[in-house]
C-alpha cells in the first residue's frame, strides 16, 4: 500500500509539472490512462450524473451519444471498468 501511495504521489506531481506544456485546448483526460482522481465507478452502480464527471473529460461532447450506445449494446453493464460509461437505467 505504501508503494502505491508513493507511485500515485509521483504521477500527481508529474501531472502538475506537465500542465504548462500541454496544448491550448487539450482533453481533460486521456482514456488509456485511468485518472482515478477524476472519479471511480462504484462497482458498476454509478449513476449517469456521477459518470458524467469523468466521462465528459474523456469523451467531451460524445458522452451522451456513448451512453446511448452503451445502453443499447451492454444494458446490464457487464463490460465495465473503474471509469466506464454506465448504461441508462431502464424504467421496467
pLDDT in tens, the chain (92 residues): 688 889 889 988 987 888 777 766 666 666 566 677 777 777 767 888 888 988 888 888 899 999 999 999 999 989 988 788 889 875 44
Q: Which three cell numbers stand for residue 6?
A: 508513493
Residues designated as active site: 33
Q: What per-residue confidence (pLDDT) applies to 55?
A: 85
Distant-in-sequence contacts of 68-76, Cβ < 8 A, 24+ apart: none
pTM, 2 dp: 0.61
Q: Supply the pLDDT for residue 92.
A: 42
What is the per-residue pLDDT for 65?
95
Is residue 82 within 8 A of residue 53, CB to CB? The reply is: no
Half-sphere exposure of 7 (CA within 13 A, CB side): 4
> What are the helix (H) ranges across the chain?
2-18, 48-59, 63-73
Query: Which pLDDT belongs to residue 73?
Result: 96
Amino acid at each position: 500500500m505504501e508503494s502505491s501511495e508513493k507511485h500515485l504521489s509521483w504521477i500527481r506531481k508529474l501531472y502538475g509539472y506537465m500542465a504548462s506544456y500541454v496544448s491550448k485546448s487539450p482533453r481533460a483526460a486521456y482514456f488509456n490512462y485511468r485518472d482515478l482522481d477524476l472519479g471511480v465507478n462504484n462497482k458498476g452502480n454509478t449513476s449517469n450524473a456521477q459518470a458524467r464527471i469523468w466521462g465528459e473529460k474523456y469523451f467531451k461532447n460524445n458522452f451522451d451519444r456513448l451512453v446511448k450506445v452503451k445502453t443499447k449494446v451492454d444494458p446490464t453493464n457487464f463490460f465495465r471498468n473503474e471509469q466506464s460509461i454506465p448504461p441508462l437505467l431502464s424504467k421496467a
